[in-house]
């Protein structure tokens, strides 16, 4: 009986010990006091084996979950890398677009300054005639950029309604 108890303890601790089967006691022999009877030992062995099977099943479930999580983690890492690459690509494109817009603004500003110099150099009557033919917004911008003396010479030569609109716009802006 001591061998079967030792085998039960070892199986419970995870060590599988293959021992020769314990022989049955001689007929009519009484078990010693404190020793379990053979059917009880067999039942205990079966319950230990059942528990071990449950533990093994749980271990396999956990291993499967761990493997699935590892796959998901790798997928997330791959997606993260793709996303980071796309962000860098978009940032690069934005920087190129910003540079292009800055260059365009500089060219437009230079062109505007040239045009403004031309209008300032024209005789007031010629400038007024051209300004009367331009879009309202452009005229307002040009007049706002000119000095007061130049505008004072242009206003009487421009169409009266346009001069009044510029005056109202200038007053509303203040």
| DSSP type of residue 155 | G
> Looking at the structure, do residues 74 and 132 belong to the same domain, yes or no?
no
Looking at the domain assignment, is residue 29 inside a domain?
A: no
Q: For the chain, what is the domain count?
A: 2
**Residues with Cβ < 8 Å from 109, sequence gap 6 or more?**
none
In this predicted structure, what is the pLDDT of residue 48?
A: 85
Q: Which is more confident, 139 or 45?
A: 139
> Could you identify the residue written with the tokens 């040009």?
142
> Looking at the structure, do residues 134 and 163 belong to the same domain, yes or no?
yes
Is this prediction's pTM over 0.75? Answer: no
Picking from 51, 77, 108, the residue at the C-terminal end of a domain is: 108
Looking at the domain assignment, is residue 19 inside a domain?
A: no
> Looking at the structure, do residues 64 and 92 belong to the same domain, yes or no?
yes
> Looking at the structure, do residues 129 and 157 belong to the same domain, yes or no?
yes
* Two structure tokens written together for 78: 């791959």
pLDDT digits (tens, 9 = 90+) for 100-122: 999 999 999 999 999 999 989 99
Q: Please count the helices (runs of H) and the strands (runs of E) in the chain.
A: 6, 0
Report the alpha-carbon distance of residue 67 to residue 174 in Å, rounded. Answer: 70
* Two structure tokens written together for 95: 């920087």
> Looking at the structure, do residues 103 and 134 belong to the same domain, yes or no?
no
> Which domain, by its residues, includes 135?
122-174
Looking at the domain assignment, is residue 10 inside a domain?
A: no
Q: What is the mean pLDDT of residues 3-29?
A: 49
Looking at the domain assignment, is residue 127 inside a domain?
A: yes
Looking at the domain assignment, is residue 17 inside a domain?
A: no
In this predicted structure, what is the pLDDT of residue 86?
A: 98
> Looking at the structure, do residues 94 and 132 belong to the same domain, yes or no?
no
Looking at the domain assignment, is residue 116 inside a domain?
A: no
Q: What is the mean pLDDT of residues 112-139?
A: 91
pLDDT band at 30 (very low <50, low <70, confident <90, very high): low
Report the alpha-carbon distance of residue 111 to residue 106 in Å, rounded. Answer: 9
Looking at the domain assignment, is residue 1 inside a domain?
A: no
Picking from 75, 108, 141, the residue at the C-terminal end of a domain is: 108
* Two structure tokens written together for 67: 């493997």
Looking at the domain assignment, is residue 88 inside a domain?
A: yes
């Amino acid at each position: 009986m001591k061998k079967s108890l030792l085998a039960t303890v070892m199986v419970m601790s995870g060590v599988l010990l293959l021992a020769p089967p314990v022989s049955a006691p001689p007929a009519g022999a009484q078990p010693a006091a404190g020793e379990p009877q053979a059917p009880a030992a067999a039942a205990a062995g079966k319950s230990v084996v059942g528990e071990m099977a449950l533990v093994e099943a749980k271990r396999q479930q956990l291993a499967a979950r761990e493997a699935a999580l590892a796959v998901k983690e790798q997928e997330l890492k791959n997606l993260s890398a793709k996303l980071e690459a796309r962000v860098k690509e978009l940032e690069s494109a934005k920087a190129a677009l910003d540079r292009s817009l800055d260059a365009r603004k500089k060219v437009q500003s230079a062109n505007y300054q040239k045009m403004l110099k031309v209008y300032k150099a024209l005789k007031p009557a010629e400038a007024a005639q051209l300004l009367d033919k331009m879009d309202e917004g452009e005229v307002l911008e040009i007049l706002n950029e000119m000095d007061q003396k130049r505008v004072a010479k242009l206003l009487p030569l421009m169409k009266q309604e346009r001069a009044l609109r510029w005056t109202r716009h200038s007053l509303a802006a203040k």
